[in-house]
Amino acid sequence: MIALKSPSEIAALREAGRVVANALAAVRAHAAVGVSLLELDRIAATVIADAGAVPSFLHYQPRSARTPYPAVICASINDAVVHGIPTDYRLADGDLVSIDAGAHLDGWCGDSAISFTVGTPRPADLALIAATDRALAAGIAAARPGARIGDVADAIGTVARLEGYGIMADHGGHGVGRAMHEDPSVPNEGRPGRGIALEPGLVIAIEPMLIASGRDDYRTDRDGWTLRTRDGSRAAHAEHTIAVTASGPLILTAA
């Protein structure tokens, strides 16, 4: 079931989204060679707590997971695509870092992710991150009233495939509201004109995950959460929570 949100509910979702944006900005500002992923997790935890919000990922356990998620952020490094659990690993020169964060404020959720490099970047990583950001922007631009979920999915997938990148088939975006994961699901590849119609009040997270090698295969780590590319090539992730409004898409997790 898809629950459309009222303008006042969208305003509340915007405030939750702002907390997530601030947490991601703080993590990015602190991320550097030698900094551990647990330190980054603590920074996000502090920003979220100081805003009077609650981390959405901590203890989250979908039916598909064997264990509750044990941290505030996901920190997915190099060949990790998404859902990397922060450890005492210290960032190394040239690492490709994807950080995903979620927070609940006054009962409403925001969910967003960014990718960046630390130290001296590999040119191929910068190209992959730029394509992922472009895929996200294309998906957001397609989220207008009158369009369909398939138009958003096609916009994302077209950017990825044109540049030769892989896509994880059964992972993508989702509705957002009081819960982090609501209907509908928002695939990262699809057919224009298919799927549910986008109406003002629909709030969704759009989250392209692109694989450098162009292959789509991935595996789950022994930790039960981290998804890695099967061929060891690098991956990038970008995500915003957005609202469909009469005047077009509104990014709720912008800084």
* Residue 70 beta carbon to ligand MF3: minimum distance, rounded to whole angstroms: 9
109-128 footprint of Co ion as x/- string (CB under 5 A): --x-----------------
Residues that bind ligand MF3 (CB under 6 A): 57, 60, 69, 74, 83, 100, 102, 111, 113, 174, 207, 239
Note whether 243 and 8 are within 8 A (CB).
Answer: no
* Residue 253 beta carbon to Co ion: minimum distance, rounded to whole angstroms: 10
Which of 205, 210, 211, 244 is in the footprint of Co ion by CB under 5 A?
A: 205
Q: What is the C-alpha separation between 66 and 225, in angstroms, rounded?
A: 9
Is residue 244 involved in binding Co ion (CB under 5 A)? no
Phi, psi dihedral angles at 178 (to 5 degrees): -70, -30
Q: What is the C-alpha separation between 237 and 173, in angstroms, rounded?
A: 11
Distance of CA 111 to the CA centre of its chain: 7
* Residue 225 beta carbon to Co ion: minimum distance, rounded to whole angstroms: 14
**Among residues 74 and 203, whose Cβ is nearest to ligand MF3?**
74
**Among residues 205 and 244, whose Cβ is nearest to Co ion?**
205
Q: H/E element holding 46? A: helix 37-50
Q: Which does 108 bind (CB under 5 to 8 A by kind): ligand MF3, Co ion, none?
A: none
Q: Which residues, at least 6 apart from 227, have a Cβ–Cβ distance to it below 8 Å?
A: 76, 80, 81, 82, 83, 168, 171, 218, 219, 220, 221
Q: Which does 60 bind (CB under 5 to 8 A by kind): ligand MF3, Co ion, none?
A: ligand MF3
**Among residues 54 and 205, whose Cβ is nearest to Co ion?**
205
* Residue 236 beta carbon to ligand MF3: minimum distance, rounded to whole angstroms: 14
Looking only at the bridges linking them, the beta strands covering 248-251 and 240-245 are antiparallel
**DSSP class of 103:** E
Please give the residue ranges that form the binding site for Co ion (CB under 5 A): 111, 205
